[in-house]
Amino acid sequence: MCNSCRKQIKKYLCKHYRQLYHIMSTVPEYITVSFSPGFSFLQDPTAAHYMFYDDPYLMPRNSRLLSLSKESGRNAARYIIKEYPHFFDKILAEPNIPSLMPEICTPQIEGVNEEALKERINLRMVKASVDLFDQLLQAGTPVSLETTNSLLDLLCFYGDGESTQEKESEEKEEKEDLEESEIMPERNAHSYCTMIRGMVKHGASAKAYDMYTDLLNDRHKADVHTFNALITAVPFLKDRFLERWELIKMFLTHMAQQEVQPNVRTFNAVLKTLRRCGGVGRSMAMPVMKEMECCDLKDIKLAYRLNKAMEKGDNWKFLDMDRLNLYWSKFFSLLCMMEQIDVVLKWYKEMSPSLFYPSPKNILDLLQALDAANHLEVIPSVWEDMKQLGFNKRRDLLEEILSLMSRDQHPAEVQLAFAKCAEDIKAVHEQSGRDQVPLEWTGSALGSVTVVFSRAGRTQDAWSMMERFQQINRIPTDLVMDEFLNCAKQTNSPEEAIKLVKLAASLGLPSSQKLKSRIEKEFELSENQKRTLESIQSDSDSSDSDSDSDSDRD
């Protein structure tokens, strides 16, 4: 026996049971080595006892041998505890502290009664529990359904053997379980579900399916764990791949009919079964994944409970930095989806950036939460955080934030703050540094920036954005042109309004005539401006006039 194995036995047993020291003394402490007759040495009186020195010859050479020796020591300790329980009856510790004492593994309640049966079930004494249950039935003593279900849980988990490493034969386990279920005076949904899961675990898949049929006939409902077990057993019930998939769909349909919420194990069970369905499994794997995406819990109360457990003590140390940041990211996304906006902003201020760095997905979720709660005035502060995090070049975030700022009319202070954000976004698109690549303008981004500038009264900035439509071959929408015209009217800039009509005419937009009529009605124009406005002719009008003149010549 190597030193690591021997140390594990001592560590496992002698920590709480000093009575075993005389047993451990029988374990050899060293290997006798004979020295030559002329060899002699002096003993160091200050040295420790030889039993505390590791023998290099017996030390494990690699991690695998070390793990095996440790597990061997634990198994030996368990064997000694099981075979010699009388050595652990006495408690020699002074003072006796119950919380530090080992668990009592021997039954304390004698007699044939239900309390003794419960005690043996809690101690996982399978054979003793079954024998006592038989004695209670023979004596005519009624056993409650709860206790019977507890015994059934024990049997279906361990089979008909004790909770040790030794395995009994599969047929014997199934027979014992079936015998216990047949003599049950009463069955409920828990009894059926336990039997089904036990049969699947011990390989009786066909009998588990028959038991599920009995459950449906008795008008009971199965739980999610039972359905997971049945889905796992599908390859043993059907031979053809298509039949296996049809049976999986039937179980999933029954789950929906019985209003049973699937979990991650349901997802794993379906995918594990599809691996054994050949080409059918490969073709159905992606649709299954898409369906499972709709089964998120979205339980904010459960999320708060989990977060409370994570923040308790040093539990956060179980997660490394990457997983911790991922945890906070998922938690914040759930808050944005399910919680009130005031609570979301409170968590956002506390979490970022002390606990985690928001991802682009978190910023997008926050913007959507602000939109749903109509708190768009917070967007400028979110934009400042985006610049610090380096997200000011993310096209999806820029499109979202511009869309929110340009959608509705807001008070003057909010519009000025929006215009400052739009100016920063414009600078991002027009960067000309050596190592900086500017973003390409899109039609929607140009229109949104123009609308924001127009509503803030920044006519020159809005017109500079209008000119870019022609430069990048984009067409402004009627909303963009109307907002710019309103801005020109508000700032009394008829020249800018006439420029807008010229731009619309050069692009051949049919709205140019509408803009001309608005300018004539809403602006005070000079004679020179009126002549300039009347001289503007769109490309479509000129082409129509050319065609008319050609027809007259003919």
| pLDDT of amino acid 32 | 52
Q: 422 burial class (0-12, 13-18, 19+ CB within 10 angstroms)?
A: buried
Q: Is the distance from CB of 222 to CB of 189 less than 8 angstroms?
A: yes
Helix axis angle, 114-122 relative to 126-138, nearest 10°?
A: 160
Concatenate the DSSP letters of all residues of 467-510 into one string.
Answer: HHHHHTT----HHHHHHHHHHHHHTT-HHHHHHHHHHHHHTT-T
d(CA 95, CA 440): 79
- For the beta carbon of residue 491, count every other beta carbon within 10 angstroms: 14
Annotated domain spans of the chain: 3-33+48-100, 107-209, 323-545
- For the beta carbon of residue 316, count every other beta carbon within 10 angstroms: 12
d(CA 269, CA 253): 15
Q: Residue ranges of the chain with pLDDT lower than 70?
A: 1-42, 102-104, 160-185, 293-297, 432-436, 537-554
Question: CATH for 323-545, among 1.20.58, 3.30.1490, 1.25.40, 1.10.3470?
Answer: 1.25.40
d(CA 516, CA 540): 15
pTM: predicted TM-score of the whole model, two decimal places: 0.55
DSSP letter assigned to residue 223: -
| pLDDT of amino acid 539 | 45
**Phi and psi torsions of 498, nearest 5°:** -65, -35
- For the beta carbon of residue 228, count every other beta carbon within 10 angstroms: 24
Q: Is the distance from CB of 42 to CB of 63 less than 8 angstroms?
A: no
| pLDDT of amino acid 472 | 86
Name every residue whose Cβ is closer than 8 Å to that of residue 270 and which is 6 or more positions away in sequence. 231, 248, 252, 288
d(CA 381, CA 417): 10
- For the beta carbon of residue 286, count every other beta carbon within 10 angstroms: 9
